[in-house]
Chains A and B, each alone.
Chain A
Amino acid sequence: MSTLDEKAKAGMEDHAAHGSDAKESGAGGFIILFFIIGFAASMVLGWVIFPKLLYSQKQQPLNFNHALHVEEVGEGCEGCHYFREDGSFSGIPKLAQCTECHEEPMGDTEDEATFVEQYVAKEREVPWLSYSRQPDCVFFSHSAHVIGAKMDCVVCHGHIGESEVSRPYEYNRITGYSRDIWGKDIAGLKKNSWDRMKMDDCAQCHKEAGMIHTSSVQTDRDACFVCHK
């Protein structure tokens, strides 16, 4: 095409361009504003709404008063949560164990009544929801920690022994984990040793325990086959 046309076109387009530039400067403020709105909205979504959606709650089949039992039974936690002869840990007591004392209602609370009627009488196991159940791939040895390392239950389980009511059981809708594993704090931050029970938390403690936990060729930590099955 001819150079003349070129010039003409360029001129026209320049014009248009400047026009648009003018508009731009006015729009600048808006643009920033919209950016902030989008930013804020997504932050709220991610930090506030998302956790609410992610976790769901269940109530324990009946209210359990740890404090009272510790006081009544004595022997501290071992009174009910003991080691079997093969070194395995009994965990949440089976009905038979409760029945030893609760053949007849003890005290007149409502929960006591339901417990005796619904479970003891019908010989149905109580479907307790375990706050600190690790996934199936984890092998956790209570004897290694409690007998071997002489650790206190509180380190991992917190002060549940002092609780008078059973708090609701929260679980992750996607993974089915108890919320105690990841911790209440959605950011996964922890203040106490029992706030979180993910692999890194075990690892941290093991690392602090020093040289004996360096059997892994790959990581110089504990080999996988210590806590995994």
Chain B
Amino acid sequence: MDSALIPKGVKRCPMWQFLLGLGIVGAVLAWGVYAMLLCWFKGLNQTNMNDYYGFALWIWADLAVIALGGGAFFSGLLKYIIGKDELKNIINYAVLIGFICYSSALLILAIDIGQPLRGWFIFWHANVHSMLTEVAFCLSAYFAVLTIEYIPLILENRQLDKVPFFHNLSHNMHETMAVFAATGAFLSFFHQGSLGGVAGVLFGRPFAFREGLLIWPWTFFLFTWSAAAYGPSFTLLITWITEKVARKKLVKDNVVELLAKISGWMIFTYTIAKICDTTRWANITAPGLGQNLADFYTGNAFYGYWILFAEIILGGVVPAIILISAPLRKNPTWRVTAFFLGVMGVSLNRWVMVLQVMAVPIMPFDTWALYYPSWQEVATTILPVAYGIILIMISYRYLPIFPQEAELNPIEEETAMAVEAHTESTPDLKPANA
């Protein structure tokens, strides 16, 4: 019934299957929305946050999705600025994933603040000394860029494309995309960094505080670097998952391997930087403030040295090595393992930079503060995931996300004919809302 909207030359699951999938994920979405409304109308007492945990699961989720969404700006940078043209075969998906990540981040922020109606104060009454201000501005601006990058994709829907205006618009946007991509890279550099700065500037908290360059603590650069490094890994991981779900190959191996390789080298360099940073912090910064590692990793039920190991070794060194070495990289299992470890590593890093920062006691007579999220927090954090899946399902079904899909999965004559016939039998076509 919606075959008219489905891109030419590709096959999609029957409508009922599609709707069923939507329904299931939609239910989860509804649950999240319910929790969100609770937080808005009853206030943040719905969460398990407290005065020691001003930042918790939500801020972690924000930092994490934005780091993972980094794939968009980085592959954009590679394709449009550096000129790695093969990436055109995956850039669409990178953009879509980025779009989902960033819209999710903004939504979570809107739930996280105590006075959503005053949220715009962060722009209007901006305090330029605050890392959060920089985050808010660059985040919103970059989201605009992502939207711009996503629009032509939508316009390429078979029916929309028939409208001359839309066709031309998307055409022109493609032409000027390099400019947008560049701006996006510029913005991303800053808001990814500022997110790192958020923790790094807390000079009252030896666990988070870092020295740095001018006004920017080292975490600023580490965050940007890690987003660029792990973002692509996440794009590729999602691509892999999508391929498994769609039960067909969507992107050619050479493209995947290229991006994987780049990601690998980025992770490698980042991990080295991270190790230097940690070493300096552990031996100079923290001791200078009268604290040593043991103060941060012992004396509580959860945070131990394991977290350092898991983040830096498992989530840094290991995936780096796998992705750098050609034989391992070319082996799908190893590759995906690397992606997975990488995603785990960067998420763990963000967790540490938010939640462990809050947990560590600072005044000698203060105590460790451990926290677990309330179901409302969990639900509102899963909400964007559900929303993302839905957006991917729709986009994948109706938009030519994967340029190589048709070529990689040629469909037999009769089905193709059937589709054709069907199309022609409906002369007056409604847009995508059909």
Contact = CB atoms under 8 A, between A and B. Distances in A.
B392 interface: no
Interface in A180-229: 218
B127 interface: yes
Contact of A218 (B127, B162, B417): B127
A172 to B, nearest CB: 15
A3 to B, nearest CB: 14
B416 A1 contact: yes
Contact of A1 (B127, B129, B420): B420
A1 B413 CA distance: 7
A17 B416 CA distance: 24
Interface of A: 1, 16-17, 21, 218
A21 B413 CA distance: 34
Contacts of A218: 127, 129
Interface residue range, chain B: under 10
A139 to B, nearest CB: 19
Interface in B286-309: none
Interface in B104-142: 127, 129
Given A1-B416, A1-B417, 7 more contacts: A1-B413, A1-B420, A16-B427, A17-B162, A21-B164, A218-B127, A218-B129
Interface in B400-422: 413, 416-417, 420
9 contacts: A1-B413, A1-B416, A1-B417, A1-B420, A16-B427, A17-B162, A21-B164, A218-B127, A218-B129
A223 to B, nearest CB: 14
A21 B416 CA distance: 30
A177 B413 CA distance: 72
Contacts of B416: 1
A58 B164 CA distance: 57
Contacts of A17: 162
A198 to B, nearest CB: 13
A175 to B, nearest CB: 12
A36 B427 CA distance: 32
A1 B129 CA distance: 63
A53 B420 CA distance: 56
Contacts of A21: 164
Contacts of B413: 1
B159 to A, nearest CB: 13
Contacts of A16: 427
Interface in B262-321: none
A198 B127 CA distance: 20
Contacts of B129: 218
A17 B164 CA distance: 9
A128 to B, nearest CB: 31
Contacts of A1: 413, 416-417, 420
